[in-house]
Amino acid sequence: MLTGFVHGLRHLRADIRKYLPAFLAMAAAAILLLATTLTTGIAAERMGAGVESLGGIADVGLVPETAGGLIAEGQAEEIARMPDVALAIPTYSESTVLRGPDGRELTPMLTGYPTRHNAGLAFEGLEGDLPGRGAAELLLPRDIAGELGAGIGDLVEVLGSGGVEELRTVGIVDPDELGMMAYENVFTDLGTAQRLFHHAGQVTRVDVQVTSDPGQWALTAQQRLPEGVVVQETGAITASFAPVLQAVGIILKVVSGAALAMSVLLTAVAFSSVVRARRRSYSLLRTIGAPRGWVGRGVLTEAAILGVLAGLVGALIGPVVTLGLLRVLPGEGGWPSFPGVLLHAFLSWAICVGAALAGCAAALGQLYARGALHGLASADRGISRRRRMLLGGGGLAAVAAAAALLRPEGTTSSSAVAFFLLLTGAALTAPLLVAGSARLLARGRWTLAYAARRLSAEGQMTAPAVIIVIMVGLSASLLTVAGSLGGAMERQIASQFGADVQISSQVPVREEDPGGLRDVGGIRRVTAIGALDLEVRSERPEDAGLRTSALSIDPSGFFDTAELAFTETGSKGDVRRALDAGAVALPESVAGALGVGPGDSVLLRVEDRSVRAPVAGVFVSLSTGTQLVVPRDVAEQLGDDPGYDAWHLAVAEGSSAGDVRDRVEAAVREALPGASVITGAEMRDRAAGEIATYTFSVLGLVSITVLVGSAGVAGILSLSVLRRSAELSTLRAIGLSAGAVGRLLLAEALILAVPTILSGALAGTAAGWALCRVLADAMGVSAVFHVDLPLTCVLAGLTLGALTITGCWPVIRARRTAPATSLKSA
Amino acid sequence: MSPSSISVRGARKVYRTEGEHELTAVNGIDLEVAEGELIAFMGPSGSGKSTLLNLLGGLDSPTRGSVRVAGREISSMGEKELARFRFESIGFVFQHFHLMPNFTVAENIALTALIAHRPRSQWLERVVELLTAVGLVDRIDALPHTLSGGQQQRVAVCRAIFARPPVLLADEPTGNLDSRSSAEVLRLFRRAVTTGPGATGLLVTHDLEAAVIADRVLLLRDGRIAGEFVPGRGEGAGQDEREEGGRADRIRAWLEASSG
Ligand SMILES: Nc1ncnc2c1ncn2[C@@H]1O[C@H](COP(=O)(O)OP(=O)(O)OP(=O)(O)O)[C@@H](O)[C@H]1O
Ligand SMILES: [Mg+2]
């Protein structure tokens, strides 16, 4: 018995070649979808793991309210006396540099804990002893001890605020025993840590063990905690990483969404052309009495099988692609459980099947709309001119709306809407554009005229035109994002980190001239830079403040060695003078968030001290986020001297930066272990390298998009060659060589590709700017519109290359059309 | 007799079908056709008529044997040479018309001129002349899908004879037409052969009414020429209907005798 399903199965076998492009596109979309969801999930997981490891040893962590603040030990004792508190452990932690006995260096967190609790700490397999009270002693986890090459009794150099000190390793412990604290921590006595970093009587956190439910305790304790102390919200830390994740997620989602859209489009084309080719046999079936549903079930069966298979391919290859993507991401682990992977795989598989069914909907519509006799009528001629005009009008309106939304004062969501409107608008106008350019060429010489007339008369090429616009538009927008963010970053780094030689230390030190830099030859000027955490707010009392960090600089020295990439084009000299007079420079992201600019004032606060400072200028801040620049005397008014952790050097005339770097490296080796000393040129190279890495990953995404799109376009073109075999073979019979027929196809492809690539590139660049704003907002930074010309050329080359390679397929198919076919086929 | 326009010696065409089966569609044919002659091939379905026509028109090459058309040996030509040969020497008329859908009637007729990049001014006159002869000059700028089947086939014949090729080939040109349109198309074809300078016509048909315009009728069976009949020379276009009916009867009688 021939059921509708069996019928569909047979048809599928017969037309397998026509379905190939749609199948590949669906599989690619499924792969992208799965890889995207898995990767973003894993990235979040890794971040979470990183945050967890910052968490403490007990039930609830208490930290200072203000960034960079500290908790007094007296407050810690107050906390220990609070109800339901079984134990309160104050600790002092600071990231520092350790140097082992044989010179190997590491930068872990040095944590001081109250050694009076030693008796309660029972580490199984502890080698040696725990650090003694007030002693210069160190407890190392076994892995760190191994990396440092330090054993019991060995001296380890530690960089503190006052310079290098030696601590003796007294104990080595299994990291597993330490639980969460194992993550890159070494331990000493609390008093020792406080002394090392010049913070006597102060701690960075208090971990509390409670006798009641920790969540409940945290909620009720909040009001009773001492002034300036809050319950640590690990969510807040996650939130600070979230923007980057979100930005990556947005890009990946946009790409897989576009791949999905293209695959639906391709499936739709494949099915409607297959159904069109079969219209005779379908109407015959209907004539001999087959019900419509029977025929429809056949088509649905084909779509379902295609979707199921493509989805399976995606589900199998997706995890492999994910593994590749994970190599690029920082961190380790976080790979979801097998059921988790299975669930994601199932979801993308289901979406793929859905896409296949959606793709065949148009074909089913054709089938159902048509009467039994319709199959013998003439072939339909694609979308009508009126519909094309209507769509084109809609597209233009969308582009106009997007332009209106893209005004400078637009919001994140209006930028996002503009992004979609631009791409959709360009896609809608594509058929009109192709028809229009074809009409211009229709009176040209033979090859052009043939191709042009086909394209202007028939709507068959709607789908490839749309696909090219989507694929080029998306790629151009991604590259614009990469170019804009990368370009801005590069410019900022070039100016702000442009000093001839730069030193940065892991730990801020009090010494303004560590290692006697002034005595090193070949240096014209040295300026020391410190860092502090603070809160900044506008003068409007109702506005919320922003916690961030700041560089404290000596204006004359700083600007003598480097620059800030100011966005305002006022005189640089004025800005420096203003900074000299106690004004501050804001990154564009902070200025935007607070709604302030040059001429306004902001309030800076560290703990209970605050300073009002005018805004001297606003600078591009891509690589430094929300970091402010404040003059040193303002920083001093805000609190204790924060010390110095970076030095900018200007090289004297006649000396080479490389030589100076080598000499400086030797000079500070003792005083600043682990410090990095690099030249401005090296800094720029490093930045360029980092930017190139992420540009390459964007290019990778773009390549996938372009490949999927090109394969789709080639697939549709070769479907159209199959459909036109009678026409092409007639031309062959009349005397056109195979090559000449191939050239007709080439001309078609060119007329199709050139205007659509151009419009896609234009719309995509504008859309890229919109996307750039969305992403910059998500990351809290600012971006400057910048089209990277070499990148754009790479895209154009990539697209043309992919189209050429995949385009060989229909051209070869056209060339193979046998001249004798014209005698047979209708 | 005028010199041979077509000369075939021992032509064989073997198709290799699925499963390594060999199928001999043309099995050793010798044939001489003089300039100005019009030949009709008849025979049962599958007897190799279309295959032979393909060989003669340079659409396909014989497996063995020699095929000389318009003074050139085409059996050993490469693909490019064959295309060139078809372009210069052959005019085709197909059963399914095959006009280019996006080109006007005039452009379809002058297709070879378009392909050779010749400007409209150089070919318009010839197109008007041909269209006037077939009574379609008022449709000169129409698109093919607006014409009836018979009109399309008349345009297709005009296309075939536009460049005055020495050889005209037609495979079932009336297969999709009613008898009135058939008669018009056949008259046109006959006249093209008669009035063309040394043109030779080859016609494959099942239709006795079509065969009557031929000077000779060849019967094909199993890839071989199984018989030849000369129905008596008519006066070409415009001969009277009773005479034509008589010729058709004579061909039918011969066919019945040969297949009996
Ligand atoms: N491309 C091909 N491949 C294999 N076999 C073929 C091919 N073309 C024709 N044949 C076979 O060659 C034989 C002759 O075919 P041909 O088309 O010449 O017949 P015909 O006389 O034109 O028949 P009809 O009157 O039905 O058109 C047939 O048996 C056919 O099946
Ligand atoms: Mg035939």
Q: pLDDT, tens digit, for every residue of B34-53?
A: 988 999 999 999 999 999 99
Task: Judge whether B242 is closer than 8 Å to chain A, CB to CB.
Answer: no
Residues in chain A: 826
Q: Does A25 have pLDDT greater than 80?
A: no
A18 against B100, higher pLDDT: B100
Beta-carbon separation of A822 and B92 below 8 A = yes
- Beta strands in A205-297, from DSSP E residues, in sequence order: 205-210, 229-231
Residue A587 pLDDT class (50, 70, 90 cuts): confident
Beta-carbon separation of A820 and B145 below 8 A = no
Q: What is the pLDDT of residue B138?
A: 95
What CA–CA distance (Å, rounded) separates B116 from B155? 20
Beta-carbon separation of B84 and A730 below 8 A = no
Chain B residue with Cα closest to A725? B98
Q: What is the pLDDT of residue A602?
A: 92
pLDDT digit string (tens) for A174-228? 877 665 555 678 899 999 999 988 888 888 888 888 787 777 777 777 778 888 7
Apex A472 CA angle, A470 and A473, nearest 5: 60
Q: What is the pLDDT of residue A776?
A: 76
Q: Does A578 have pLDDT greater than 80?
A: yes
Pairing of strands B38-42, B216-221: parallel
What CA–CA distance (Å, rounded) separates A775 from B55? 67
Distance from CA of B180 to the nearest CA of A (A): 22
A603 against A803, higher pLDDT: A603
Residue type, A419: F
Give chain A's mean pLDDT: 80
Percent of chain A predicted with pLDDT > 90: 4
Ligand nearest to the CA of B23: 1
Q: Which of residues 453-472 of A touch B (CB under 8 A)?
A: 453-454, 457-458
Q: Which of B50, B86, B94 sits opposite A735 (nearest CB)?
A: B86
User: Would you state the structure tokens that stand for residue A145, as one six-digit string?
Assistant: 């001890």
Beta-carbon separation of A730 and B94 below 8 A = yes
- Residue A781's SS3 state is coil
Atom index in ligand 1 nearest the CA of residue B15 equals: 4
> What does A709-768 look like in DSSP terms, one character per residue?
HHHHHHHHHHHHHHHTHHHHHHHHHHT--HHHHHHHHHHHHHHHHHHHHHHHHHHHHHHH
> What number is the average pLDDT over the span A643-649?
86
Q: What is the pLDDT of residue A379?
A: 44
Going across the sheet that includes B224-229, the strands are: B90-93, B167-171, B200-204, B38-42, B216-221, B224-229
Q: What is the pLDDT of residue A373?
A: 44
User: Would you state the structure tokens that stand for residue B260, as one six-digit string?
Assistant: 């009996």
What are the φ/ψ torsions at residue B220 (nearest 5 degrees)?
A: -105, 140
For chain A, the distance separating the N- and C-terminal CA atoms, rounded to the nearest angstrom, is: 32
The answer, yes or no, to whether any atom of ligand 1 lies below 6 A from the CB of B46, is yes
Q: What is the pLDDT of residue B241?
A: 61
Residue spans of alpha helices (H) in A55-157: 73-80, 142-148
Q: Which of A446, A457, A458 sits opposite B115 (nearest CB)?
A: A446
Pick the residue whose CA is nearest to atom 31 on ligand 1.
Answer: B46
Chain B residue with Cα closest to A736? B83
What CA–CA distance (Å, rounded) separates A306 from A23? 6
Pairing of strands A137-141, A163-173: parallel
Q: Which of A445, A735, A822 sits opposite B98 (nearest CB)?
A: A822
Residue spans of alpha helices (H) in A156-232: 175-178, 190-196, 214-221
Q: Which of residues 93-122 of B touch A (CB under 8 A)?
A: 94-96, 98, 100-103, 111-112, 114-115, 117
Is B125 within 8 Å of B97 (Cβ atoms)? Answer: no
Q: Does A243 have pLDDT greater than 80?
A: no
Percent of chain A predicted with pLDDT > 70: 87
The answer, yes or no, to whether any atom of ligand 1 lies below 6 A from the CB of B15, is yes
Residue type, A517: L
Q: Does A448 have pLDDT greater than 80?
A: yes
Distance from CA of B242 to the nearest CA of A (A): 33
A698 against B168, higher pLDDT: B168
Q: Does A281 have pLDDT greater than 80?
A: no
Beta-carbon separation of B87 and A734 below 8 A = yes
> What number is the average pLDDT over the span A247-259?
75
pLDDT digit string (tens) for B123-153? 999 999 999 988 899 999 999 989 998 899 9
**CA A822 to centroid of ligand 1, rounded, Å:** 14
Q: What is the pLDDT of residue B140?
A: 94
Task: Judge whether A820 is closer than 8 Å to chain B, CB to CB.
Answer: yes
**pTM for the model:** 0.72
pLDDT digit string (tens) for A357-391? 888 887 787 777 655 444 433 444 455 677 778 88
A76 against A776, higher pLDDT: A76
What CA–CA distance (Å, rounded) separates A184 from A108? 5
**CA A582 to centroid of ligand 2, rounded, Å:** 98
The answer, yes or no, to whether any atom of ligand 1 lies below 6 A from the CB of B121, is no
Beta-carbon separation of A735 and B117 below 8 A = no
Task: Judge whether B141 is closer than 8 Å to chain A, CB to CB.
Answer: no
Q: What is the pLDDT of residue A719?
A: 79
Q: Choosing among B45, B52, B55, B59, which should be mutated to test the A contact, i.e. which has the most A CBs within 10 A?
A: B59
Global ipTM: 0.86
What CA–CA distance (Å, rounded) separates A272 from A368? 12
Pick the residue whose CA is nearest to atom 27 on ligand 1.
Answer: B45
> What number is the average pLDDT over the span B239-245?
64
A266-280, A397-411, B62-76: the lowest-pLDDT one: A266-280
Q: Which residue has the tokens 């599958």?
A: B46
pLDDT digit string (tens) for A303-353? 888 889 989 998 898 888 888 777 666 555 556 677 888 888 898 899 888
Beta-carbon separation of A823 and B53 below 8 A = yes
- Residue A486's SS3 state is helix
> What number is the average pLDDT over the span A449-475?
82
Is A2 within 8 Å of A293 (Cβ atoms)? Answer: no
Q: Which of B49, B53, B96 for a ligand 1 pocket mutation test, highest count of atoms within 8 Å of Cβ?
A: B49
Interaxial angle between packed helices A680-723 and A234-277, expressed in degrees from 0 to 180 and rounded to the nearest 10 = 20
**CA B45 to centroid of ligand 2, rounded, Å:** 7
Residues with a beta carbon under 5 angstroms from ion ligand 2: B 50
**If 0-12 CB within 10 Å is exposed, 13-18 middle and 19+ buried, where does residue A219 land?**
exposed
Pick the residue whose CA is nearest to atom 8 on ligand 1.
Answer: B51
Task: Judge whether B61 is closer than 8 Å to chain A, CB to CB.
Answer: no
Beta-carbon separation of A734 and B79 below 8 A = no
Alpha carbon separation from B207 to B82, B214, B221 (Å, rounded): 30, 12, 17
Beta-carbon separation of A820 and B54 below 8 A = yes
Pick the residue whose CA is nearest to atom 4 on ligand 1.
Answer: B15
Q: Does A238 have pLDDT greater than 60?
A: no
Q: What is the pLDDT of residue A556?
A: 81
Q: What is the pLDDT of residue A687?
A: 76
Residues in chain B: 260
Q: What is the pLDDT of residue A1?
A: 47
**CA A814 to centroid of ligand 1, rounded, Å:** 23
Pairing of strands A501-509, B200-204: unpaired
pLDDT digit string (tens) for A117-148? 777 776 777 888 889 888 899 998 888 888 88
Atom index in ligand 1 nearest the CA of residue B13 equals: 12
Beta-carbon separation of B112 and A378 below 8 A = no
The answer, yes or no, to whether any atom of ligand 1 lies below 6 A from the CB of B51, is yes
Q: Which of B20, B23, B24 for a ligand 1 pocket mutation test, highest count of atoms within 8 Å of Cβ?
A: B23
Pairing of strands A609-619, A601-606: antiparallel
Residue spans of alpha helices (H) in chain B: 49-56, 79-89, 105-109, 111-115, 120-134, 149-161, 179-195, 208-211, 241-259
pLDDT digit string (tens) for B77-113? 988 898 899 999 999 998 888 888 888 999 999 998 9
Task: Judge whether A822 is closer than 8 Å to chain B, CB to CB.
Answer: yes
Give the number of A-B residue pairs with CB atoms closer than 8 Å: 79
Residue A506 pLDDT class (50, 70, 90 cuts): confident
Q: Choosing among A376, A744, A823, A824, which should be mutated to test the B contact, i.e. which has the most B CBs within 10 A?
A: A823
A757-771, A801-815, B64-78: the lowest-pLDDT one: A801-815
Q: What is the pLDDT of residue A335?
A: 65
Q: Does A738 have pLDDT greater than 80?
A: yes
Q: What is the pLDDT of residue B26?
A: 93
Q: Does B243 have pLDDT greater than 80?
A: no
Q: What is the pLDDT of residue A783?
A: 63
Other C-beta atoms lying within 10 Å of the C-beta of residue B116: 14
pLDDT digit string (tens) for A535-569? 888 888 887 777 788 888 888 888 877 777 777 65
Other C-beta atoms lying within 10 Å of the C-beta of residue A598: 20
